[in-house]
A and B are shown apart, each in its own frame.
Chain A
Amino acid sequence: MPRLARLFIKTGLIYFLAALILALASEVNGIQFPGLVPLFWHLLMVGWITQIIFGVSMWMFPGRNREEGFRAQKWGWLTFIMLNAGLLLRAVAEPLNYLSQNPAWNVLIALSAITQAGAALTYIIEIWPRIQSKEQQRRQRKKKRQQARKNTGRGK
């Protein structure tokens, strides 16, 4: 399994646990803070479900770049960074925004919204070209082979 997929899945598992602990704490100890319910739902649906979908699809969908590293998989890495930065910013800034009227929280909330929407966009940029029929995959592989042969020829 590629490093990025492992990272998505393991981070997703942590959000899964965090979301359920949040739900449990609010039930057992009566811990309540403003924004708890939307935070719980977003940790669960974005932090866990969406994150695991992103990770597994980047790994399992056809046409994966097998080269590791940020440069080779830049859209995937940008998706991971923006999705998680956005979620963490939200987890901190949304409850704090209810407690104190510091304009910094407003900026962080806006930043959280922008980075999460950005993560959706970079994920689409990565995965859209990989949604292919068998015939399209065959043609792409052939094109790549021809390109590689051409490059080798130039190298000689």
Chain B
Amino acid sequence: MPTPSRWMIKASLIYLFAGFLMGAFILVSKAYPGLSPAWTLLPLHIEVSIFGWIIQLTMGTAYWILPRYLESGSRGNPLKAKIMVALLNTGILVNSASYLDIVPSSATLVGRSLEVGAVILFIALHWNRAVSYNT
């Protein structure tokens, strides 16, 4: 498994646990209203569970498992892949900090832009790897 995939999959597991813990806290607060401040975690729960867990795991696994280039046997530029990992995770962390009021709410614009950058790099890295060997 290549390094960027291992980074992404391990990060996604951390986000999975964080997302499920937040979800558990929110769910318990439905039964015990004294814990209702847990609801402030809802946007963070969604960000971490969707972008941090599901999307990141999918991207990391795709980088590992899609066909490599026939001539070089590589998965494309590894630096681009590492930048993709950095952009996605910085984006998630910036958005998370914004939802926790650590940074202004407008910071989500920066966070989402970083995530868009990661997706553009993801597409650039994988477009030519989605091929048929029959052609």
A114→B49 contact, CB < 8 A: no
Contacts A94-B30, A97-B31, A112-B27; A53 near B13 (Cβ below 8 A):
no
A131→B9 contact, CB < 8 A: yes
A120→B17 contact, CB < 8 A: yes
Say yes or no for A22: interface residue by CB 8 A criterion: no
Which residues of chain B have C-beta atoms less than 8 A from A57's C-beta?
Answer: 57, 61
Choose among B21, B31, B32 the residue that contacts A117 (Cβ–Cβ < 8 A).
B21
Which residues of chain B have C-beta atoms less than 8 A from A90's C-beta?
Answer: 27
B23→A113 contact, CB < 8 A: yes
Say yes or no for A11: interface residue by CB 8 A criterion: no
Q: A106 vs B31: C-alpha distance in the bound complex, in angstroms?
A: 5
- How many of chain B's residues touch chain A, expressed as a range? 20 to 34
Q: A133 vs B6: C-alpha distance in the bound complex, in angstroms?
A: 8
A109→B54 contact, CB < 8 A: no
Provide the main secondary structure of the chain B interface.
Answer: helix
Contacts A109-B27, A110-B31; A116 near B20 (Cβ below 8 A):
yes
Which residues of chain A have C-beta atoms less than 8 A from B23's C-beta?
Answer: 113, 116-117
Which residues of chain A have C-beta atoms less than 8 A from B32's C-beta?
Answer: 106, 110
Say yes or no for B130: interface residue by CB 8 A criterion: no
User: Distance in Å from the Cβ of B53 to the closest Cβ of chain A?
Assistant: 8
Say yes or no for B70: interface residue by CB 8 A criterion: no
A45→B49 contact, CB < 8 A: yes
Which residues of chain B have C-beta atoms less than 8 A from A128's C-beta?
Answer: 10, 13
Q: Which residues in B have some Cβ–Cβ distance to A below 8 Å?
A: 1-3, 6, 9-10, 13, 16-17, 19-21, 23-25, 27-28, 30-32, 49-50, 53-54, 57, 61, 65
Between A and B, 30 residue pairs with Cβ closer than 8 Å are: A45-B54, A49-B54, A50-B16, A57-B57, A60-B65, A97-B30, A97-B31, A106-B32, A109-B27, A109-B28, A109-B31, A110-B32, A116-B20, A116-B24, A117-B20, A117-B24, A119-B20, A120-B17, A120-B19, A121-B17, A123-B13, A123-B16, A124-B17, A131-B9, A131-B10, A132-B1, A132-B6, A133-B1, A133-B3, A134-B1
